[in-house]
């Protein structure tokens, strides 16, 4: 299965959205530097907590504000929402290729979205220093995305190289001073 095949794939932003939610997101964007922006996004999330456009807007707000813990919470919420829609196991750790195949029959766009959120959550975990969790998420992504269409392998390669460099430094007397 080619995860880059966008033909006839519904994307998260194709989902209908109410005028009120659309207005709140637009106002949050217009007020981006102010604390009102977060309040508008939280209100949108309160009204439509399972709408993917709302979750993406809230995630991006937190991510670009460097509030990674909050961004991770939103990513985990998005995984749960999309996972339920696709009939995936309750947690990503139990996700298997057969689940992904069944999910593709429902929506290729949502499967791709789920895997991209898994990658984002893995990356954020690494940034927060949660190396075990981040590595596990990226390994699961690479396991499920055998052609590396989502790009998880590059992040894993960087992590492995970083770990290799750290262990080399520990053994190299030039790095002990």
pLDDT at 12: 61
**Which H or E run contains 134?**
helix 131-144
Output 142 or 16, whichever has higher pLDDT: 142
In the chain, % of residues over pLDDT 90:
75
Could you state, in order of their start, the residue ranges of all structural domains in the chain? 12-175
Q: What is the CATH number of domain 12-175?
A: 1.25.40.10
3 pLDDT more than 70: no
pLDDT at 146: 87
SS3 12: helix
Quickly count: other Cβ atoms within 10 Å of residue 55's Cβ. Answer: 24
CA–CA separation, 44 and 55 (whole Å): 9
| Mean pLDDT for all residues in the chain | 89
- Give the pLDDT band of residue 173 (cuts 50, 70, 90): low
pLDDT at 175: 40
Asked if 113 and 124 count as a contact pair (C-beta separation under 8 A), the reply is no
**Which H or E run contains 71?**
helix 68-86
């Amino acid at each position: 299965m080619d995860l880059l095949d966008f033909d006839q794939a519904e994307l998260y932003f194709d989902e209908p959205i109410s005028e009120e939610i659309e207005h709140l997101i637009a106002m949050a964007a217009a007020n981006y530097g102010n604390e009102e922006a977060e309040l508008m996004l939280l209100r949108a999330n309160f009204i439509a907590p399972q709408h993917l456009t709302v979750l993406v807007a809230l995630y991006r707000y937190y991510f670009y504000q460097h509030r990674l813990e909050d961004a991770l919470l939103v990513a985990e919420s998005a995984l749960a929402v999309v996972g339920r829609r696709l009939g995936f196991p309750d947690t990503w750790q139990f996700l298997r290729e057969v689940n992904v195949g069944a999910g593709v029959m429902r929506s290729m766009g949502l499967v791709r979205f789920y895997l991209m959120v898994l990658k984002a959550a893995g990356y954020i975990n690494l940034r927060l220093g949660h190396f075990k969790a981040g590595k596990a998420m990226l390994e699961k992504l690479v396991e499920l995305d055998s052609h590396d269409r989502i790009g998880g392998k590059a992040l894993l390669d960087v992590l492995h190289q970083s770990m290799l460099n750290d262990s080399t430094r520990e053994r190299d007397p030039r790095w002990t001073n």
